[in-house]
Structure 1
Protein backbone atom coordinates (compact mmCIF):
# COMPACT_ATOMS: atom_id res chain seq x y z
CA UNK A 1 0.00 0.00 0.00
CA UNK A 2 1.32 3.44 -0.96
CA UNK A 3 2.37 5.66 1.93
CA UNK A 4 1.17 9.24 1.59
CA UNK A 5 3.20 11.98 3.24
CA UNK A 6 0.91 14.75 4.47
CA UNK A 7 2.08 18.25 5.26
CA UNK A 8 0.69 20.77 7.75
CA UNK A 9 -1.65 23.58 6.84
CA UNK A 10 0.15 26.69 5.62
CA UNK A 11 -1.15 30.18 4.85
CA UNK A 12 0.52 31.34 1.61
CA UNK A 13 0.96 35.06 1.02
CA UNK A 14 -0.57 37.07 -1.82
CA UNK A 15 2.26 39.14 -3.35
CA UNK A 16 0.79 40.17 -6.70
CA UNK A 17 -1.73 42.82 -5.69
CA UNK A 18 0.29 45.42 -7.60
CA UNK A 19 1.08 43.26 -10.63
CA UNK A 20 0.51 44.89 -14.01
CA UNK A 21 1.21 44.12 -17.66
CA UNK A 22 0.07 45.45 -20.99
CA UNK A 23 -0.74 48.75 -19.30
CA UNK A 24 -3.39 47.32 -16.96
CA UNK A 25 -3.81 45.51 -13.65
CA UNK A 26 -3.92 41.72 -13.46
CA UNK A 27 -6.31 39.12 -12.10
CA UNK A 28 -4.44 39.32 -8.79
CA UNK A 29 -5.84 42.81 -8.21
CA UNK A 30 -9.02 42.57 -6.13
CA UNK A 31 -11.00 45.02 -8.25
CA UNK A 32 -10.07 43.33 -11.53
CA UNK A 33 -10.87 39.91 -10.09
CA UNK A 34 -14.25 41.10 -8.84
CA UNK A 35 -15.04 42.65 -12.23
CA UNK A 36 -14.56 39.19 -13.74
CA UNK A 37 -16.72 37.44 -11.16
CA UNK A 38 -13.94 36.24 -8.85
CA UNK A 39 -14.29 37.14 -5.18
CA UNK A 40 -10.76 38.55 -4.78
CA UNK A 41 -7.32 38.52 -6.32
CA UNK A 42 -6.04 34.93 -6.04
CA UNK A 43 -2.66 33.80 -4.79
CA UNK A 44 -0.38 32.82 -7.67
CA UNK A 45 -0.46 29.06 -8.22
CA UNK A 46 3.31 28.39 -8.10
CA UNK A 47 3.35 29.75 -4.53
CA UNK A 48 2.12 26.32 -3.44
CA UNK A 49 5.08 24.50 -4.98
CA UNK A 50 7.33 25.27 -2.01
CA UNK A 51 5.18 23.17 0.30
CA UNK A 52 6.12 20.05 -1.66
CA UNK A 53 9.88 20.59 -1.73
CA UNK A 54 10.81 19.19 1.72
CA UNK A 55 9.07 15.90 0.89
CA UNK A 56 10.60 15.64 -2.58
CA UNK A 57 14.04 16.28 -1.08
CA UNK A 58 13.32 13.61 1.53
CA UNK A 59 12.59 11.19 -1.32
CA UNK A 60 15.35 12.08 -3.76
CA UNK A 61 17.84 14.22 -1.82
CA UNK A 62 19.72 17.01 -3.59
CA UNK A 63 19.09 15.25 -6.90
CA UNK A 64 15.70 16.95 -6.72
CA UNK A 65 17.31 20.37 -7.17
CA UNK A 66 19.46 19.13 -10.05
CA UNK A 67 17.08 16.89 -12.00
CA UNK A 68 13.59 17.26 -10.53
CA UNK A 69 10.43 17.95 -12.51
CA UNK A 70 7.19 19.26 -10.98
CA UNK A 71 4.30 19.22 -13.43
CA UNK A 72 1.15 20.84 -12.02
CA UNK A 73 -2.44 21.30 -13.14
CA UNK A 74 -4.21 23.97 -11.10
CA UNK A 75 -7.75 23.11 -10.02
CA UNK A 76 -9.05 25.88 -7.75
CA UNK A 77 -7.86 29.34 -6.76
CA UNK A 78 -6.62 30.11 -3.25
CA UNK A 79 -7.25 33.49 -1.63
CA UNK A 80 -5.48 35.48 1.08
CA UNK A 81 -6.20 33.99 4.48
CA UNK A 82 -6.99 30.49 3.22
CA UNK A 83 -4.77 27.62 4.29
CA UNK A 84 -3.34 24.86 2.12
CA UNK A 85 -1.90 21.43 2.87
CA UNK A 86 -0.08 19.07 0.53
CA UNK A 87 0.20 15.34 0.01
CA UNK A 88 3.00 13.41 -1.67
CA UNK A 89 2.81 9.69 -2.39
CA UNK A 90 6.07 8.07 -1.35
CA UNK A 91 7.42 6.07 -4.31
CA UNK A 92 8.94 2.65 -3.86
CA UNK A 93 12.75 2.59 -3.67
CA UNK A 94 14.23 3.17 -7.10
CA UNK A 95 11.06 4.64 -8.59
CA UNK A 96 11.52 7.98 -10.32
CA UNK A 97 7.98 9.36 -10.36
CA UNK A 98 5.21 10.08 -7.89
CA UNK A 99 1.93 11.94 -7.50
CA UNK A 100 1.33 15.12 -5.51
CA UNK A 101 -1.83 16.94 -4.45
CA UNK A 102 -2.77 20.12 -2.58
CA UNK A 103 -6.00 20.93 -0.76
CA UNK A 104 -7.57 23.81 1.08
CA UNK A 105 -8.42 23.38 4.75
CA UNK A 106 -11.99 22.39 3.81
CA UNK A 107 -10.78 19.71 1.41
CA UNK A 108 -11.22 21.68 -1.83
CA UNK A 109 -8.54 20.49 -4.27
CA UNK A 110 -6.00 23.16 -5.25
CA UNK A 111 -3.73 21.29 -7.65
CA UNK A 112 -2.64 17.88 -8.84
CA UNK A 113 0.87 17.18 -10.06
CA UNK A 114 3.41 14.61 -11.07
CA UNK A 115 6.89 14.84 -9.59
CA UNK A 116 9.77 12.97 -11.15
CA UNK A 117 13.52 12.75 -11.15
CA UNK A 118 15.52 12.75 -14.37
CA UNK A 119 17.12 12.21 -16.69
CA UNK A 120 14.22 10.02 -17.84
CA UNK A 121 11.04 11.75 -16.66
CA UNK A 122 8.73 9.77 -18.90
CA UNK A 123 5.73 11.92 -19.85
CA UNK A 124 4.96 14.40 -17.04
CA UNK A 125 1.36 15.26 -16.22
CA UNK A 126 1.18 18.46 -18.26
CA UNK A 127 2.67 16.88 -21.34
CA UNK A 128 0.02 14.17 -21.03
CA UNK A 129 -2.66 16.86 -20.86
CA UNK A 130 -1.21 18.82 -23.76
CA UNK A 131 -1.15 15.71 -25.95
CA UNK A 132 -4.91 15.32 -25.44
CA UNK A 133 -5.85 18.87 -26.46
CA UNK A 134 -8.56 19.25 -29.04
CA UNK A 135 -7.98 21.58 -32.01
CA UNK A 136 -8.18 25.18 -30.83
CA UNK A 137 -10.72 26.27 -33.43
CA UNK A 138 -11.23 29.96 -34.11
CA UNK A 139 -9.49 32.18 -31.59
CA UNK A 140 -10.01 35.90 -31.01
CA UNK A 141 -7.47 37.17 -28.48
CA UNK A 142 -4.91 34.68 -29.78
CA UNK A 143 -5.89 34.80 -33.45
CA UNK A 144 -2.40 35.90 -34.49
CA UNK A 145 -0.62 33.16 -32.53
CA UNK A 146 0.73 30.05 -34.24
CA UNK A 147 2.23 26.84 -32.88
CA UNK A 148 5.96 26.93 -33.55
CA UNK A 149 6.19 30.70 -33.13
CA UNK A 150 9.31 31.67 -31.17
CA UNK A 151 10.34 34.72 -29.23
CA UNK A 152 11.89 37.42 -31.37
CA UNK A 153 15.27 37.12 -29.65
CA UNK A 154 17.21 35.40 -26.89
CA UNK A 155 16.47 36.93 -23.50
CA UNK A 156 19.05 37.43 -20.75
CA UNK A 157 17.89 37.10 -17.14
CA UNK A 158 19.24 36.90 -13.63
CA UNK A 159 17.71 36.99 -10.16
CA UNK A 160 19.70 38.79 -7.50
CA UNK A 161 18.59 38.48 -3.87
CA UNK A 162 17.37 42.09 -3.68
CA UNK A 163 16.48 42.58 -7.34
CA UNK A 164 12.98 43.93 -7.96
CA UNK A 165 11.47 41.58 -10.54
CA UNK A 166 9.49 44.21 -12.45
CA UNK A 167 5.83 45.08 -12.98
CA UNK A 168 4.88 41.45 -13.52
CA UNK A 169 6.41 40.40 -10.19
CA UNK A 170 6.64 43.53 -8.02
CA UNK A 171 8.87 42.09 -5.31
CA UNK A 172 12.34 40.63 -4.79
CA UNK A 173 13.58 37.19 -3.82
CA UNK A 174 14.41 38.62 -0.38
CA UNK A 175 10.79 39.77 -0.07
CA UNK A 176 9.54 36.31 -1.01
CA UNK A 177 11.83 34.56 1.46
CA UNK A 178 10.30 36.57 4.30
CA UNK A 179 6.93 34.89 3.68
CA UNK A 180 7.76 31.62 1.89
CA UNK A 181 5.82 28.74 3.44
CA UNK A 182 8.80 26.38 3.67
CA UNK A 183 12.06 28.26 4.35
CA UNK A 184 15.30 26.51 3.40
CA UNK A 185 18.79 27.82 4.14
CA UNK A 186 20.05 27.05 0.65
CA UNK A 187 17.71 29.69 -0.80
CA UNK A 188 19.83 32.45 0.78
CA UNK A 189 22.94 31.01 2.46
CA UNK A 190 25.88 30.20 0.20
CA UNK A 191 27.37 27.92 2.85
CA UNK A 192 24.22 25.78 2.81
CA UNK A 193 24.31 25.27 -0.97
CA UNK A 194 26.50 22.56 -2.53
CA UNK A 195 26.44 24.54 -5.79
CA UNK A 196 28.38 27.61 -4.68
CA UNK A 197 25.41 29.99 -4.83
CA UNK A 198 21.92 30.00 -3.31
CA UNK A 199 19.21 28.11 -5.18
CA UNK A 200 16.24 29.81 -6.84
CA UNK A 201 13.17 28.33 -5.08
CA UNK A 202 10.95 26.22 -7.32
CA UNK A 203 8.06 28.66 -6.88
CA UNK A 204 10.32 31.47 -8.14
CA UNK A 205 11.38 29.74 -11.37
CA UNK A 206 8.29 31.12 -13.11
CA UNK A 207 9.23 34.59 -11.83
CA UNK A 208 12.69 34.28 -13.35
CA UNK A 209 11.26 32.70 -16.49
CA UNK A 210 8.67 35.43 -17.05
CA UNK A 211 10.82 38.41 -16.06
CA UNK A 212 11.54 39.22 -19.71
CA UNK A 213 8.49 37.53 -21.28
CA UNK A 214 7.41 40.81 -22.88
CA UNK A 215 10.55 40.69 -25.02
CA UNK A 216 9.19 37.65 -26.86
CA UNK A 217 6.52 39.93 -28.37
CA UNK A 218 3.96 37.17 -28.75
CA UNK A 219 0.88 38.77 -30.36
CA UNK A 220 -1.68 38.49 -27.57
CA UNK A 221 -4.35 41.14 -28.08
CA UNK A 222 -4.72 43.66 -25.27
CA UNK A 223 -6.18 44.58 -22.90
CA UNK A 224 -6.81 41.04 -21.73
CA UNK A 225 -6.29 39.38 -18.38
CA UNK A 226 -4.58 36.03 -18.01
CA UNK A 227 -3.86 33.38 -15.43
CA UNK A 228 -1.69 30.31 -15.03
CA UNK A 229 -3.76 27.23 -15.86
CA UNK A 230 -0.87 24.75 -15.72
CA UNK A 231 2.84 24.99 -14.94
CA UNK A 232 5.69 22.53 -15.27
CA UNK A 233 9.21 23.25 -13.99
CA UNK A 234 11.95 20.79 -14.92
CA UNK A 235 15.61 20.80 -13.98
CA UNK A 236 17.87 19.21 -16.56
CA UNK A 237 21.32 20.21 -15.31
CA UNK A 238 20.24 22.30 -12.37
CA UNK A 239 19.70 23.94 -10.10
CA UNK A 240 18.99 27.48 -11.21
CA UNK A 241 21.12 29.73 -9.00
CA UNK A 242 20.66 33.16 -7.48
CA UNK A 243 22.83 35.76 -9.20
CA UNK A 244 23.60 33.53 -12.18
CA UNK A 245 22.94 34.71 -15.73
CA UNK A 246 20.72 32.63 -18.02
CA UNK A 247 19.64 32.83 -21.65
CA UNK A 248 15.95 32.13 -22.30
CA UNK A 249 14.40 30.88 -25.54
CA UNK A 250 10.63 30.60 -25.94
CA UNK A 251 8.31 28.75 -28.27
CA UNK A 252 4.53 28.40 -28.59
CA UNK A 253 3.93 24.66 -28.42
CA UNK A 254 0.12 24.45 -28.26
CA UNK A 255 -3.07 26.51 -28.51
CA UNK A 256 -6.52 25.76 -27.17
CA UNK A 257 -9.68 27.15 -25.67
CA UNK A 258 -12.56 26.39 -23.34
CA UNK A 259 -15.88 28.17 -22.86
CA UNK A 260 -14.34 31.04 -20.90
CA UNK A 261 -10.64 30.98 -21.72
CA UNK A 262 -8.26 30.98 -24.68
CA UNK A 263 -4.97 29.20 -23.98
CA UNK A 264 -1.43 29.34 -25.28
CA UNK A 265 1.24 26.96 -24.06
CA UNK A 266 4.79 28.32 -23.95
CA UNK A 267 7.94 26.25 -23.61
CA UNK A 268 10.77 28.30 -22.11
CA UNK A 269 14.27 26.85 -22.08
CA UNK A 270 16.89 28.15 -19.64
CA UNK A 271 20.46 28.00 -20.97
CA UNK A 272 23.65 28.99 -19.21
CA UNK A 273 25.28 32.32 -20.07
CA UNK A 274 27.02 30.77 -23.07
CA UNK A 275 23.66 29.81 -24.54
CA UNK A 276 24.93 26.26 -25.08
CA UNK A 277 24.15 24.25 -21.94
CA UNK A 278 20.48 23.57 -21.20
CA UNK A 279 19.94 23.98 -17.46
CA UNK A 280 16.15 23.81 -17.09
CA UNK A 281 12.88 24.23 -18.93
CA UNK A 282 9.40 25.45 -18.11
CA UNK A 283 6.05 24.66 -19.71
CA UNK A 284 3.37 27.24 -18.96
CA UNK A 285 -0.25 27.11 -20.04
CA UNK A 286 -1.40 30.73 -20.13
CA UNK A 287 -5.16 31.11 -19.90
CA UNK A 288 -6.59 34.40 -21.19
CA UNK A 289 -10.10 35.23 -19.98
CA UNK A 290 -12.40 35.91 -22.92
CA UNK A 291 -14.61 38.24 -20.89
CA UNK A 292 -11.62 40.44 -20.03
CA UNK A 293 -11.11 41.50 -23.66
CA UNK A 294 -13.42 44.43 -24.47
CA UNK A 295 -13.71 43.55 -28.17
CA UNK A 296 -14.57 39.89 -27.67
CA UNK A 297 -17.72 39.18 -29.74
CA UNK A 298 -20.62 39.00 -27.31
CA UNK A 299 -22.18 36.07 -29.14
CA UNK A 300 -19.05 34.01 -28.46
CA UNK A 301 -19.02 34.63 -24.72
CA UNK A 302 -20.67 32.11 -22.38
CA UNK A 303 -24.07 33.24 -21.20
Structure 2
Protein backbone atom coordinates (compact mmCIF):
# COMPACT_ATOMS: atom_id res chain seq x y z
CA UNK A 1 0.00 0.00 0.00
CA UNK A 2 1.30 3.45 -0.90
CA UNK A 3 2.04 6.00 1.82
CA UNK A 4 -0.34 8.87 2.47
CA UNK A 5 0.39 11.72 0.10
CA UNK A 6 0.58 14.46 2.76
CA UNK A 7 0.57 14.91 6.52
CA UNK A 8 -0.66 18.50 6.22
CA UNK A 9 -3.25 19.55 8.79
CA UNK A 10 -6.34 20.71 6.90
CA UNK A 11 -9.31 22.52 8.43
CA UNK A 12 -12.64 21.67 6.85
CA UNK A 13 -15.87 23.65 6.86
CA UNK A 14 -19.11 23.02 5.00
CA UNK A 15 -17.87 25.30 2.22
CA UNK A 16 -14.09 24.89 2.02
CA UNK A 17 -10.83 23.12 2.76
CA UNK A 18 -8.30 25.40 4.43
CA UNK A 19 -4.58 24.74 4.70
CA UNK A 20 -2.22 25.88 7.48
CA UNK A 21 -0.35 29.17 7.50
CA UNK A 22 3.02 28.78 5.79
CA UNK A 23 6.09 30.91 5.07
CA UNK A 24 7.30 29.99 1.57
CA UNK A 25 11.00 30.31 0.81
CA UNK A 26 12.50 32.55 -1.86
CA UNK A 27 15.02 30.54 -3.92
CA UNK A 28 15.58 32.82 -6.91
CA UNK A 29 17.88 35.50 -5.49
CA UNK A 30 20.58 34.42 -7.96
CA UNK A 31 18.25 34.09 -10.97
CA UNK A 32 19.53 35.78 -14.13
CA UNK A 33 18.20 36.25 -17.64
CA UNK A 34 19.24 38.57 -20.44
CA UNK A 35 22.52 38.82 -18.45
CA UNK A 36 20.90 40.74 -15.60
CA UNK A 37 19.23 40.05 -12.27
CA UNK A 38 15.50 39.45 -12.02
CA UNK A 39 12.50 40.64 -10.02
CA UNK A 40 13.50 38.07 -7.39
CA UNK A 41 16.74 39.98 -6.65
CA UNK A 42 16.31 42.51 -3.82
CA UNK A 43 18.17 45.37 -5.51
CA UNK A 44 16.44 44.94 -8.87
CA UNK A 45 13.01 44.59 -7.27
CA UNK A 46 13.52 47.70 -5.11
CA UNK A 47 14.49 49.78 -8.16
CA UNK A 48 11.10 48.85 -9.65
CA UNK A 49 9.14 49.83 -6.56
CA UNK A 50 8.90 46.51 -4.71
CA UNK A 51 9.93 46.02 -1.09
CA UNK A 52 12.39 43.29 -2.05
CA UNK A 53 12.84 40.15 -4.09
CA UNK A 54 9.48 38.49 -4.69
CA UNK A 55 8.59 34.83 -4.25
CA UNK A 56 7.86 33.19 -7.60
CA UNK A 57 4.13 32.59 -8.09
CA UNK A 58 4.11 28.81 -8.64
CA UNK A 59 5.81 28.34 -5.26
CA UNK A 60 2.31 28.87 -3.87
CA UNK A 61 0.89 25.96 -5.88
CA UNK A 62 2.38 23.51 -3.38
CA UNK A 63 0.05 24.68 -0.63
CA UNK A 64 -2.97 23.68 -2.73
CA UNK A 65 -1.68 20.15 -3.39
CA UNK A 66 -2.83 18.63 -0.06
CA UNK A 67 -6.25 20.26 -0.53
CA UNK A 68 -6.62 18.83 -4.03
CA UNK A 69 -5.45 15.41 -2.83
CA UNK A 70 -7.95 15.47 0.06
CA UNK A 71 -10.81 16.37 -2.29
CA UNK A 72 -10.00 14.22 -5.33
CA UNK A 73 -7.46 11.60 -4.24
CA UNK A 74 -5.26 10.00 -6.88
CA UNK A 75 -7.05 11.85 -9.68
CA UNK A 76 -5.47 15.08 -8.43
CA UNK A 77 -1.97 13.83 -9.29
CA UNK A 78 -3.06 12.47 -12.67
CA UNK A 79 -5.45 15.10 -14.08
CA UNK A 80 -5.29 18.01 -11.62
CA UNK A 81 -5.29 21.63 -12.77
CA UNK A 82 -4.52 24.90 -11.00
CA UNK A 83 -5.43 28.11 -12.85
CA UNK A 84 -4.44 31.30 -11.02
CA UNK A 85 -4.31 35.06 -11.44
CA UNK A 86 -1.59 36.49 -9.22
CA UNK A 87 -3.03 39.49 -7.37
CA UNK A 88 -0.17 40.69 -5.16
CA UNK A 89 3.45 39.78 -4.53
CA UNK A 90 4.67 37.82 -1.53
CA UNK A 91 7.98 38.28 0.28
CA UNK A 92 9.96 35.76 2.28
CA UNK A 93 8.85 35.78 5.91
CA UNK A 94 5.23 36.56 5.12
CA UNK A 95 2.64 33.95 6.06
CA UNK A 96 0.08 32.79 3.51
CA UNK A 97 -2.84 30.38 3.59
CA UNK A 98 -4.45 28.32 0.80
CA UNK A 99 -8.23 28.03 0.63
CA UNK A 100 -10.11 25.68 -1.70
CA UNK A 101 -13.89 26.10 -1.91
CA UNK A 102 -15.71 22.80 -2.32
CA UNK A 103 -17.21 22.18 -5.78
CA UNK A 104 -20.93 22.03 -6.35
CA UNK A 105 -22.34 18.48 -6.47
CA UNK A 106 -21.74 16.84 -9.83
CA UNK A 107 -18.93 19.23 -10.80
CA UNK A 108 -15.16 18.84 -10.73
CA UNK A 109 -14.04 22.47 -10.55
CA UNK A 110 -13.92 24.88 -7.62
CA UNK A 111 -12.57 28.26 -6.60
CA UNK A 112 -9.17 28.76 -4.94
CA UNK A 113 -7.72 31.67 -3.04
CA UNK A 114 -4.53 32.47 -1.15
CA UNK A 115 -4.38 35.22 1.46
CA UNK A 116 -1.89 36.86 3.81
CA UNK A 117 -2.46 37.45 7.53
CA UNK A 118 -3.76 40.97 6.78
CA UNK A 119 -6.30 39.49 4.28
CA UNK A 120 -4.34 40.70 1.23
CA UNK A 121 -5.18 38.37 -1.64
CA UNK A 122 -2.08 36.79 -3.20
CA UNK A 123 -3.92 34.83 -5.89
CA UNK A 124 -7.34 33.63 -6.93
CA UNK A 125 -8.48 31.13 -9.54
CA UNK A 126 -9.81 27.62 -10.00
CA UNK A 127 -8.79 24.04 -9.25
CA UNK A 128 -10.18 21.04 -11.10
CA UNK A 129 -9.60 17.47 -12.18
CA UNK A 130 -10.28 15.79 -15.51
CA UNK A 131 -12.51 17.69 -17.90
CA UNK A 132 -14.45 20.15 -15.72
CA UNK A 133 -16.77 21.20 -18.60
CA UNK A 134 -16.39 24.81 -17.52
CA UNK A 135 -13.84 27.49 -18.32
CA UNK A 136 -10.90 27.63 -15.95
CA UNK A 137 -10.06 30.98 -14.37
CA UNK A 138 -7.51 31.78 -17.07
CA UNK A 139 -9.61 30.49 -19.95
CA UNK A 140 -12.28 32.96 -18.85
CA UNK A 141 -9.67 35.70 -18.44
CA UNK A 142 -8.22 35.07 -21.90
CA UNK A 143 -11.67 35.37 -23.48
CA UNK A 144 -12.03 38.88 -22.01
CA UNK A 145 -8.59 40.24 -22.94
CA UNK A 146 -8.21 43.26 -25.16
CA UNK A 147 -5.38 43.01 -27.72
CA UNK A 148 -2.13 44.76 -26.83
CA UNK A 149 -2.15 48.32 -28.21
CA UNK A 150 1.01 50.20 -29.23
CA UNK A 151 3.55 47.52 -28.28
CA UNK A 152 7.15 48.54 -27.73
CA UNK A 153 8.87 45.68 -25.92
CA UNK A 154 6.72 43.05 -27.68
CA UNK A 155 6.41 44.75 -31.06
CA UNK A 156 8.12 41.88 -32.88
CA UNK A 157 6.20 39.11 -31.04
CA UNK A 158 3.20 37.70 -32.90
CA UNK A 159 0.28 35.57 -31.78
CA UNK A 160 0.68 31.96 -33.04
CA UNK A 161 4.49 32.19 -32.88
CA UNK A 162 5.58 28.65 -32.01
CA UNK A 163 9.00 27.73 -30.71
CA UNK A 164 11.14 24.69 -31.39
CA UNK A 165 10.49 21.44 -29.55
CA UNK A 166 12.93 21.05 -26.67
CA UNK A 167 13.84 18.02 -24.58
CA UNK A 168 13.71 18.60 -20.83
CA UNK A 169 14.41 16.45 -17.79
CA UNK A 170 14.58 16.97 -14.04
CA UNK A 171 16.89 14.90 -11.83
CA UNK A 172 17.15 15.24 -8.06
CA UNK A 173 20.57 16.91 -8.07
CA UNK A 174 20.34 18.75 -11.38
CA UNK A 175 20.67 22.53 -11.09
CA UNK A 176 18.02 23.94 -13.40
CA UNK A 177 20.14 26.65 -15.02
CA UNK A 178 20.31 30.46 -14.76
CA UNK A 179 16.53 30.78 -14.55
CA UNK A 180 16.30 28.29 -11.67
CA UNK A 181 19.65 28.10 -9.84
CA UNK A 182 18.70 25.24 -7.53
CA UNK A 183 17.95 21.52 -7.70
CA UNK A 184 14.84 19.48 -6.94
CA UNK A 185 16.55 18.08 -3.85
CA UNK A 186 17.23 21.62 -2.59
CA UNK A 187 13.61 22.57 -3.23
CA UNK A 188 12.28 19.52 -1.37
CA UNK A 189 14.34 20.56 1.66
CA UNK A 190 12.27 23.76 2.01
CA UNK A 191 9.01 23.10 0.11
CA UNK A 192 5.95 24.13 2.10
CA UNK A 193 4.21 20.76 1.67
CA UNK A 194 6.53 17.79 1.24
CA UNK A 195 5.36 14.30 0.34
CA UNK A 196 6.87 10.82 0.13
CA UNK A 197 5.46 10.79 -3.39
CA UNK A 198 8.12 13.35 -4.36
CA UNK A 199 11.21 11.50 -3.16
CA UNK A 200 10.74 7.79 -3.82
CA UNK A 201 8.66 4.91 -5.12
CA UNK A 202 6.19 4.74 -2.22
CA UNK A 203 3.23 5.95 -4.27
CA UNK A 204 0.66 4.51 -6.71
CA UNK A 205 3.03 4.88 -9.70
CA UNK A 206 6.15 3.33 -8.19
CA UNK A 207 8.40 6.28 -9.10
CA UNK A 208 9.19 9.70 -7.64
CA UNK A 209 6.88 12.35 -9.08
CA UNK A 210 7.56 16.05 -9.70
CA UNK A 211 5.64 18.51 -7.48
CA UNK A 212 3.31 20.83 -9.37
CA UNK A 213 5.31 23.94 -8.49
CA UNK A 214 8.41 22.29 -9.97
CA UNK A 215 6.56 21.48 -13.20
CA UNK A 216 6.77 25.20 -13.88
CA UNK A 217 10.55 24.96 -13.50
CA UNK A 218 10.73 21.92 -15.80
CA UNK A 219 8.60 23.51 -18.51
CA UNK A 220 10.57 26.80 -18.44
CA UNK A 221 13.99 25.16 -18.05
CA UNK A 222 15.18 25.72 -21.64
CA UNK A 223 12.94 28.63 -22.60
CA UNK A 224 15.91 30.99 -23.02
CA UNK A 225 17.44 28.64 -25.61
CA UNK A 226 14.66 29.73 -27.99
CA UNK A 227 13.45 33.10 -26.68
CA UNK A 228 10.67 35.27 -28.02
CA UNK A 229 11.86 38.24 -30.13
CA UNK A 230 11.11 40.70 -27.34
CA UNK A 231 13.14 43.87 -26.78
CA UNK A 232 15.43 43.97 -23.79
CA UNK A 233 17.00 43.84 -21.36
CA UNK A 234 13.80 44.14 -19.37
CA UNK A 235 12.37 42.57 -16.22
CA UNK A 236 9.27 40.37 -16.25
CA UNK A 237 7.10 38.60 -13.72
CA UNK A 238 4.46 35.88 -13.77
CA UNK A 239 1.02 37.53 -13.74
CA UNK A 240 -1.17 34.52 -14.57
CA UNK A 241 -0.39 30.80 -14.65
CA UNK A 242 -2.25 27.57 -15.25
CA UNK A 243 -0.76 24.08 -14.99
CA UNK A 244 -2.91 21.20 -16.17
CA UNK A 245 -2.05 17.51 -15.92
CA UNK A 246 -3.64 15.44 -18.66
CA UNK A 247 -1.82 12.14 -18.32
CA UNK A 248 0.05 12.63 -15.08
CA UNK A 249 1.94 12.57 -12.95
CA UNK A 250 5.28 13.59 -14.45
CA UNK A 251 8.32 11.75 -13.16
CA UNK A 252 11.80 12.57 -11.93
CA UNK A 253 14.57 11.41 -14.33
CA UNK A 254 12.19 11.14 -17.29
CA UNK A 255 12.66 12.83 -20.69
CA UNK A 256 9.85 15.04 -21.98
CA UNK A 257 9.50 17.40 -24.91
CA UNK A 258 8.02 20.89 -24.64
CA UNK A 259 6.67 23.24 -27.28
CA UNK A 260 5.60 26.85 -26.64
CA UNK A 261 3.07 28.89 -28.59
CA UNK A 262 2.11 32.53 -28.10
CA UNK A 263 -1.68 32.54 -27.76
CA UNK A 264 -2.35 36.18 -26.80
CA UNK A 265 -0.74 39.58 -26.24
CA UNK A 266 -2.17 42.00 -23.70
CA UNK A 267 -1.13 45.03 -21.70
CA UNK A 268 -1.72 47.31 -18.75
CA UNK A 269 -0.51 50.72 -17.65
CA UNK A 270 2.71 49.18 -16.33
CA UNK A 271 3.23 46.03 -18.42
CA UNK A 272 3.27 44.34 -21.81
CA UNK A 273 2.26 40.68 -21.63
CA UNK A 274 2.93 37.64 -23.78
CA UNK A 275 0.67 34.67 -23.02
CA UNK A 276 2.33 31.37 -23.98
CA UNK A 277 0.86 27.89 -23.90
CA UNK A 278 3.38 25.11 -23.33
CA UNK A 279 2.47 21.60 -24.45
CA UNK A 280 4.38 18.75 -22.86
CA UNK A 281 4.86 15.42 -24.65
CA UNK A 282 6.03 12.03 -23.39
CA UNK A 283 8.30 9.63 -25.30
CA UNK A 284 5.31 8.23 -27.20
CA UNK A 285 4.32 11.71 -28.39
CA UNK A 286 1.21 11.99 -26.21
CA UNK A 287 0.40 15.33 -24.55
CA UNK A 288 0.76 14.72 -20.81
CA UNK A 289 0.47 18.30 -19.48
CA UNK A 290 0.04 21.92 -20.50
CA UNK A 291 0.95 25.27 -19.00
CA UNK A 292 -0.54 28.67 -19.78
CA UNK A 293 1.72 31.48 -18.61
CA UNK A 294 1.35 35.25 -18.77
CA UNK A 295 4.83 36.75 -18.58
CA UNK A 296 4.25 40.44 -17.94
CA UNK A 297 7.23 42.67 -18.74
CA UNK A 298 7.52 45.90 -16.75
CA UNK A 299 7.70 48.92 -19.06
CA UNK A 300 9.79 50.87 -16.54
CA UNK A 301 12.47 48.17 -16.63
CA UNK A 302 13.17 48.72 -20.34
CA UNK A 303 15.45 51.78 -20.41
CA UNK A 304 14.55 53.18 -23.88
CA UNK A 305 10.80 52.53 -23.54
CA UNK A 306 9.63 56.17 -23.66
CA UNK A 307 12.03 57.12 -26.47
CA UNK A 308 11.02 54.15 -28.61
CA UNK A 309 7.33 54.69 -27.91
CA UNK A 310 7.56 58.27 -29.23
CA UNK A 311 9.49 57.13 -32.29
CA UNK A 312 6.98 54.38 -33.06
CA UNK A 313 3.71 56.14 -32.23
CA UNK A 314 4.43 59.86 -31.99
TM-score range, shorter chain: over 0.9
Give the number of equivalent residue pairs.
298
Matched, 1:73 2:82: no
Whether the aligned pair in 2 keeps the contact of 1:33 and 1:40 (CA below 8 Å) is: yes
Distance 1:150 1:94, change over 3 A: same
Task: Give SS of 1:205's match.
Answer: helix
Q: CA deviation at 1:92?
A: 4.2
Counterpart contact for 2:270–2:298, Cα < 8 Å: yes
Give the structure-1-normalised TM-score. 0.95
Cα separation, partners in 2 of 1:176 and 1:60, compared to 1, 3 Å: same
CA offsets, 1:96-116, max 9 Å, x none? 011110001111110002001
**Hey, what does 2:65 align to over in structure 1?**
53
Shift of 1:95: 2.1
Alpha-carbon RMSD: 1.5
In structure 2, the partner of 1:181 is 192
Structure-1 separation of matches of 2:126 and 2:77: 16
Is 2:157–2:229's contact at 8 Å kept on the other side of the alignment? Answer: yes
Whether the 8 Å CA contact 1:2–1:91 is kept in 2: the answer is no
**Contiguous gaps of at least 5 residues in structure 2:** 1-12
Structure 2 distance, partners of 1:25, 1:162, is 24
1:100 aligns with 2:118: no
Alignment of 1:212-223 (within 5 A): 212-223=222-233
User: Within 1, Cα distance between the matches of 2:106 and 2:145?
Assistant: 32
Higher mean displacement: 135-144 or 215-224: 215-224
Asked if 1:166 corresponds to 2:173, the answer is no
Quote the offset at 1:273 in angstroms. Answer: 2.2
Structure 2 match to 1:139 = 151
Distance 1:246 1:193 in 2: 21
Whole-Å separation in 2 of the counterparts to 1:15 and 1:58: 28
Match of 1:232 among 239, 242, 245: 242
Structure 1 runs of 4+ with >4 Å offset: 298-301
What do the CA deviations read for 1:63-93 (whole angstroms, capped 9, x no partner)? 0111111000000100011010111112245
**Aligned-pair distance for 1:138?**
1.2
Scaled by the length of structure 2, the TM-score of the pair is 0.92
Q: In terms of mean alpha carbon deviation, does 216-225 or 59-68 score higher?
A: 216-225
> Is residue 293 of structure 2 the alignment partner of residue 281 of structure 1?
no
Cα distance in 2, alignment partners of residues 202 and 6 from structure 1: 19
Alignment correspondent of 1:90: 102
